[in-house]
């Protein structure tokens, strides 16, 4: 089969910190006011995305990988990751602060959970006045200082707060303590992993009245205790050209603000290409078919494509490859 640009059904996740921006701003089919995440493209077991358009509608992402491994993913990607899709794409709406958390690196995650680690990036799509993110510590700390702060309930005093606005982008290495603050809507691009170590949760209770599980001991050997200003991504914003944002071993991202047609030769890319539409509307076409994306939608262009044509009068896209 000639694989065309693929759209997938959003997988909506209810969270105690979720809100209504996924529905109000991104027009997701949300049924309540506590939906915190829309998983746009996922190979996570138990939450595998299902095709929403075209001849393959109803097929899962795993079905496609099993049936068309190199055509969909690219030979290089398939040789590296096998039949595991390496990227997880989400939109996240935080009406309330998320828990303070971090993610293990590949070695720890594989040893403890038989999983990838979780390196990720955030692109802020909307932020309330005075909204912020927590990223890293505000000074170098020792494991002992950190542990004592948990006992004394003073962890928040050690954390770095970053004010945010639309367009701000952050790269979150494994081991870096972090949290999305209340009032932030963002696009998240990450390794395929759902492993999170929660270390502080403001003593909140779930809908059953229980405190949520903390992962205090697991986190101790996973945390980077040093202060590093390595998270804010400063990227060019030239119009009608791809602008490099993040280039790491797990994914490469580019920002595009297009006001006219753009044609890219991707014949040597040997990777699938993902587009997240963060503003406007565009038509994305490969060798075989075209599909429209609007703000809040995601599309997967298979690796077998030799060119990608994007038609638009005004759209902002995040392009993701491996």
Q: Which positions are annotated as active-site residues?
A: 198
Residue 112's closest CA among 124, 103, 125? 103
Helix/strand/coil for 103: coil
Report d(CA 224, CA 24) in Å as an integer.
Answer: 37
257 has binding-site annotation: no
Report d(CA 125, CA 279) in Å as an integer.
Answer: 9
Sign of CA dihedral 37, 42, 43, 49: positive
261 has binding-site annotation: no
The strand pairing partners of 300, in sequence order, are 6, 274
Alpha-carbon 258 to chain mean position: 22
Tracing tokens 């691009």 back to the chain, one arrives at 189
213 has binding-site annotation: no
Burial of 106 (0-12, 13-18, 19+ CB in 10 A): middle
Binding-site residues for Zn(2+) sit at: 103, 120, 178
- Residues that constitute the known binding site: 103, 120, 178
């Amino acid at each position: 089969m000639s694989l065309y640009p693929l759209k997938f059904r959003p997988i909506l996740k209810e969270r105690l910190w979720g809100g209504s921006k996924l529905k109000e701003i991104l027009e997701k089919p949300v049924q309540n006011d506590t939906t915190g995440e829309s998983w746009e493209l996922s190979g996570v077991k138990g939450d595998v995305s299902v095709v929403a358009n075209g001849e393959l509608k109803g097929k899962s992402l795993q079905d496609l990988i099993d049936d068309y491994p190199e055509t969909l993913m690219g030979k290089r990607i398939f040789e590296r990751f096998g039949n595991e899709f390496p990227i997880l794409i989400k939109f996240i709406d935080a009406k309330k602060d998320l828990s303070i958390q971090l993610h293990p690196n590949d070695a720890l995650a594989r040893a403890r959970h038989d999983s990838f680690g979780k390196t990720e990036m955030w692109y802020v799509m909307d932020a309330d006045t005075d909204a912020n993110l927590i990223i890293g510590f505000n000074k170098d700390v020792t494991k002992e200082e950190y542990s004592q702060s948990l006992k004394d309930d003073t962890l928040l005093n050690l954390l770095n707060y970053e004010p945010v606005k639309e367009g701000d982008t952050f790269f979150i290495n494994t081991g870096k303590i972090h949290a999305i603050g209340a009032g932030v809507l963002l696009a998240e691009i990450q390794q395929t992993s759902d492993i999170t170590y929660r270390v502080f949760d403001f003593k909140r209770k779930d809908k059953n009245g229980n405190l949520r599980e903390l992962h205090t001991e697991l986190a101790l050997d996973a945390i980077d205790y040093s202060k590093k200003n390595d998270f804010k991504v400063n990227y060019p914003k030239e119009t009608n050209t791809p602008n490099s944002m993040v280039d790491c071993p797990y994914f490469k991202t580019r920002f595009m603000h297009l006001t006219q047609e753009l044609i890219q030769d991707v014949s040597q890319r040997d990777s699938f290409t993902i587009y997240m539409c963060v503003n406007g509307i565009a038509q994305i076409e490969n060798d075989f078919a075209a599909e429209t994306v609007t703000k809040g939608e995601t599309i997967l262009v298979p690796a077998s494509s030799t060119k990608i044509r994007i038609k638009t009068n005004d759209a902002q896209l995040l392009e993701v490859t491996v």
